[in-house]
Structure 1
């Protein structure tokens, strides 16, 4: 069978794989062995599956493909951050980042090739959205970045953030399936509490997270607690107003009891005033939350610049005075365009 007609074996769940094995007159436990190779051992070829007969491996190879993701190119920052471009089976490229810190190793992974949301401060927003990533492509990024952490820093991954290219909640099913495989005992067996999914704010999908009673962490890229300002930098806010987001977050919290993290990039002379901090503090009253204040990382398409350090400190101080847990996040990997908002495959960016 030509390669393009073969089915992606990782698109099947265990029950579907077992059903296929009955048609091959193979015992069901063989399907479990293959599933273990795919998801626990991260095999990228049937030839690696050494406890299967050569005949069965040949049959699988004739009928299925493993759409393995590969590292296309990597760069290491002066602060030891590693940015990689990953090549997908169809030739598309996405980017992911390993962020090493004293107490953790974090993988930042992509969920889409490009993005449709056109946020004005984000390099990915200037790319066309080409397609969603499959669950196994997201999973492969985690495995590859974990390999980089072990090879370069002798430590395994501890955390995963879905903050790379794309809007995770516009690829809902594949994102949730990837997290299921990453956290499953017969997958990578990582803790839900070590995983954060970041959204630009799609109210109905935040409610769906509540309905599905997800166990991972949710972060909202807020960046302004004022509809006029948020509309200006995040067109999605025109259909997902702060009022709609507040209602969705209340619903989400009522179902999951998970606090929310608000990501807030502080732009010079745009959203860095004490009045902006007061608006943000009011928004924080809707659900239990914490705030990450983030340094802005300039991109070639936009004219925003980072707020002054003293203004960020005053902003942070006000939030803390209101009893809001607040962290100032310093940029990592800025010198290799690996920092927040800088991910974009250069040849795919739309000028």
Structure 2
């Protein structure tokens, strides 16, 4: 059977696998063994499923595909951040980042190959969108980053952020299904409260998350708190303005009570004045948000923006603090290997 016609075995849930094994005259418990290899033990090939007989492994190989994601290159930053370039079965690449701190091991994962939103400050946006990732490919990224965390620190992942390449809400079903597998007892058994999905802001899909009663956290990439400026740097805002996003976030919170945060990158002389801080406070007060992450800008090749001076950043933070905005300054990690916010573009040094 040609690989094009073979069905990806990870598209089968346990009952379907059990049915398949029954049909070929195998014991039903074999299905459970295979399922464990796929999700719990994260076997990259059928050959690796060592408690199955050789003929059975061969039979699976002949009838199914197992398009596992592999690490193509791994770069390590001076600050301990690790960036993986993952190779997909069709030769595409995406990037994922492991960010270790004293108390956390955070995986930043991609949901699309490239991105169609063309935000003016993001390297991924210059690539265009090649395709969506399947749920099992996203799961692979997380499982591989978890292995790296265990190997480098002896600790497993504590947090996952969907903040890598792509707009997660434009790959809605696969993102939700990947989180379902990551949080499942027979998956990585991670709490949804430790997972954050970041969106550039698609109001309709934020409402859909509310309707689906999701239990993970949501982060809105705001980056400008008035429509004129936001339209200029994030074309998506022209069809999803701030009012529609504020309404959608309130709806999302009413349905789920899940945590909401804002991401706000500071750009020199663009969105770093006290007037900009005022606009940000206005938006913050209209949404039950827990936190505003102020992020320092990381330059990208050919980008038009620069980082504000340190005193400007401090003045902005002080102003937010004076107005009782729960904010924190996020110093970017992994800049020396292009692993920081907005720098992921499959570029190999």
> Which category describes the TM-score, using the shorter chain as reference length?
over 0.9
Match of 1:84 in 2: 84
Q: Does 1:344 align with 2:345?
A: yes
- Supply the distance in 2 between the matched residues of 1:319 and 1:19 (Cα, whole angstroms): 58
Deviates more, 1:146-155 or 1:283-292: 146-155
- Supply the distance in 2 between the matched residues of 1:301 and 1:70 (Cα, whole angstroms): 30
- Supply the distance in 1 between the matched residues of 2:83 and 2:41 (Cα, whole angstroms): 24
Return the offset for 1:24: 1.7
Does structure 2 retain, via aligned residues, the 8 Å contact 1:246–1:286? yes
Show the 5 A alignment for 1:200-349: 200-289=200-289, 290-346=291-347
- Cα deviation digits, residues 80-115 of structure 1 (max 9, x gap): 111111100000011111111111111111100000
Match of 1:182 in 2: 182
Deviates more, 1:113-122 or 1:155-164: 155-164
Return the offset for 1:307: 1.5
Does structure 1 retain, via aligned residues, the 8 Å contact 2:250–2:288? no
Deviates more, 1:17-26 or 1:325-334: 17-26
Give the SS at the match of 2:190: coil
Does structure 2 retain, via aligned residues, the 8 Å contact 1:259–1:287? no
Structure 2 unaligned regions, length at least 5:
none
Does structure 2 retain, via aligned residues, the 8 Å contact 1:193–1:216? yes
- Supply the distance in 2 between the matched residues of 1:48 and 1:72 (Cα, whole angstroms): 19
Deviates more, 1:20-29 or 1:57-66: 20-29
Give the SS at the match of 2:324: coil
- Supply the distance in 1 between the matched residues of 2:234 and 2:213 (Cα, whole angstroms): 27
Does structure 2 retain, via aligned residues, the 8 Å contact 1:81–1:99? yes
Q: Does 1:97 align with 2:97?
A: yes
- Supply the distance in 2 between the matched residues of 1:297 and 1:243 (Cα, whole angstroms): 28
Return the offset for 1:336: 0.8
- Cα deviation digits, residues 59-99 of structure 1 (max 9, x gap): 21111111111111111111111111110000001111111
Superposition RMSD in Å = 1.3
* TM-score of the two chains, using structure 2 as the length reference: 0.96
Structure 1 unaligned regions, length at least 5:
none
- Cα deviation digits, residues 148-207 of structure 1 (max 9, x gap): 222222222111111000000101111111111111100011111111110000000000
Give the SS at the match of 1:4: coil
Match of 1:26 in 2: 26
Give the SS at the match of 1:78: coil
Give the SS at the match of 2:304: coil
Does structure 2 retain, via aligned residues, the 8 Å contact 1:123–1:301? no
Count matched residues. Answer: 347
- Supply the distance in 2 between the matched residues of 1:172 and 1:221 (Cα, whole angstroms): 17
Q: Does 1:8 align with 2:8?
A: yes
* TM-score of the two chains, using structure 1 as the length reference: 0.96
